[in-house]
A and B are shown apart, each in its own frame.
Chain A
Amino acid sequence: MSSTFIGMPSFPAAARQAVQDAQLRHNLRKATHTIRGKRGEVVGELDDWAELRDAGRAIKDRTLRHLDRYLEQLEEQATGAGATVHWAADAEEANAIVTRLVRATGEREVVKVKSMATQEIGLNEALAQAGITAYETDLAELIVQLSDDFPSHILVPAIHRNRAEIREIFARRMAEWGVPAPDGLGDDPRELAEAARVHLREKFLTAKVAVSGANFAVAETGSLVVLESEGNGRMCLTLPETLISVVGIEKLVPTWADLEVFMQLLPRSSTGERMNPYSSVWTGATPGDGPQDVHLVLLDNGRTDTLADRVGRQALRCIRCSACLNICPVYERSGGHSYGSVYPGPIGAVLTPQLRGVQGSMEASLPYASSLCGACYEVCPVAIDIPEILVHLRERVASGPGHAAERAAMAAAETVLGDHRLLHMAQRAASAARGAVPRRLPGPGAGWTDTRDIPDIPPRPFRDWWREHEKERARGGGSGDAGGRTEHEGGDR
């Protein structure tokens, strides 16, 4: 994946910083709660949402099962329509292809439609190395680019910024990248949008080359589809002479009828809108209209390996709606950067370790970045069972190096829990030592006791009480509950 995030600390350490940033937590809470509320309303309007979700899942699964066939169909159709199709096994190959294509035009600047795939491969950085400047044209992406920042959300990459911060970034950095921000720029959203519009218009009017991704690729006609809210992407897809689209191989849908399902699922799940504001479709090149030199770079970059895993392959159904981010209590506190890749939140926690492997410490920490509360699964419009994949990936991580101590502790726990006599002995030992349990635990337990009190250990476990209760019952002594009073000293646990 992209070089941008390499060297990030692993999730718990990165999240610690985020949790302490009160402004960030406030921004995130406000933004995610607003959008999650909107999603809830518009999803609630459809009484066939469950069926739509099932259909979305089924279409994606069927496509993934026959991916090779549909990819060939896509290539054939796109080529027939006048596009050139390229295959990229990994990020390096994809970047090399795009760089070569841009160089061939003789241009040194490209405009970009917001695209996760190009961020995943670190395309902007690769182009910069080749002396080519890539201009992001999505408003939030522009904010991230101008502030040398990383995106922190799939849909709203600058979700962690508030208006005042954005105003400051525009005023300080726009001049370096083109048309400067107007003097006396305020932080009213309309003023900020206008400043961005003026800044970007110059790019749209001069750019000869555009780079995009695609939300969907329709195999039956070789068409690519981009959904957006601002219309800036459409400018890039119409005005330039050359268009290069980098598309993950899992973005396929077989037919237009299949696409119809996602045109309902995606806007409601992601922006909480009933219909998507700007939906652009392009099929190869059309003489005299739009870009005449059209390229499609089909990107693997770990997807085939993910497809080979029975449980993990579900993640390839993802349509990047970001509903799972907006509902996730962990994302809300840790922010997107903590996930160390362009895919933050629950989907990032399962996608990144699969695309990159779990050898790195960041990647190995991601499957644990969840309380397994299940909210992500519940909102996911294509029913990706994210908790199931998380547990599956934990298994992969736990069997690897660096987990020997935990493995031993778990095995020891299993030994005790695997035999009720051993468990009983351990319980009695704990009860006997109940006064001696420190308020602050050593080792990994300290993370618990630093912020929470551990419960008091009761004088005896349930199973001891039960034996007496049985005896009393045999003697005909009613409930045998000695007045039913609690033995639990310390009152409130």
Chain B
Amino acid sequence: MSVLVFIESAEGEIKKSSLEAVSYGAAVAANEGTSATAIAFGSIDEAKLKEVGKAGATKVLHVNDDRLDKGVIQAYANALTQAVEKEGAKVLVLAKSSLGDPVAARVAVKTNAALASNVAELPDTSSGFKVKRSIYTGKAFAMVELKADVKIIAIKKNAVEVKEDGGDATVETFSPELSDADFGVQITGEERQTGEILLPEADLVVSGGRGLKGPENWGMIEDLARALGAATGCSKPVSDMDWRPHHEHVGQTGVKVSPTLYVAVGISGAIQHLAGVNSSKYIVVINKDPEAPFFKAADYGIVGDAFEVVPKLTEAIKARK
């Protein structure tokens, strides 16, 4: 019996959310008196795979097949299922993501597993195997018992801290049997934000709303984000008006974030926006309307004109870092 952790990477870099999954898997394994094995797909340097050991895995299976540089869901699910069987894994851990969700769902069916997604804490194994899931878009939790032999846990981003005290992992090549049918879906291209902090993975986020008055004023948001080391986001009206790309839209129907700090500038705080940010540890709201509903959800608030407050705040942060 072991704990298996599915690792996602982009352009050869392992995602932070996957390292969170490794640390979660290592904690589950320690509790069960076993070890955590990670599995990674596509072209990744061996040195990077060894480093996964720092987060808590003792072994990494590497499916070194460049057809898997892109996240072909069926191929990943088939390979992962074979790895679960090979390792005799009773627990599979992964990060909830646009790839993790559909892959986990297929693996759950293939392995007759019980799957819990959006998991916020380590399992309670005192009687049965129970996990706490975030539901109602962060407005509540559900305790769920997983009743099958194989348990699959998709963890919510930023729910777990990445451990950094482990040693190097051993790396083994794993060659699952994949057929042409697994690659029936053709990924013909992608557009990816590069060189900046990815919003769904970010620990700090600065978002702007309609109060910014136009896309030409976004430099101010970017300056504050840069000073903090934060990702940038926006409200739905802003992405609807094409001031910012859709992948920056934070909210109920956009990206749901759970950073340690969320700074909202010129966003009134419609309930649909709050639904995307209510898992944030700290919320700062800057708005010139003292009645903006967002202040009720905030930890710190400033009533003031964003065009005056934000540059001053940026300078103050730069001076103190």
B partners with A: no
Residues of B with Cβ closer than 8 Å to A?
Answer: none
